[in-house]
Amino acid sequence: MKNKNDSLEQMRGQVKKAIDARYKTVEEFCWENDLNKATISNFLNNKKDFQVSTLEKIAQGLGKKLIIKIE
């Protein structure tokens, strides 16, 4: 069974890649999408657990759809 800290590893990579492709900085992404920079930084650096609503806001800011599944 994967550690809880590893469960969002793939998503963190996808989010970082999408931000880098569309924005000059993470800060710019946060400003344009009314997201807290510290929250996004904590997410990208695996600093704490997140609510689904926060993950939905990140996905919306990137023009993506959040899909959660158990395999």
Mean pLDDT (10-residue bins), the chain, 71 residues: 66 95 96 95 90 94 91 79
Question: Considering the domain boundaries, does residue 70 fall inside one?
Answer: no
DSSP string, 7-63: TTHHHHHHHHHHHHHH-S-HHHHHHHTT--HHHHHHHHTT-S---HHHHHHHHHHTT
CATH number of domain containing 12? 1.10.260
pTM, rounded to two decimals = 0.80
Question: Considering the domain boundaries, does residue 13 fall inside one?
Answer: yes
Q: At 4, is the secondary structure helix, strand, or coil?
A: helix
The candidate with the shortest Cα–Cα distance to 39, out of 58, 66, 59, 11, is 58
Q: How far is CA 38 from CA 31, 55, 57, 65, in A?
A: 12, 14, 14, 22
Domain containing residue 45: 7-61
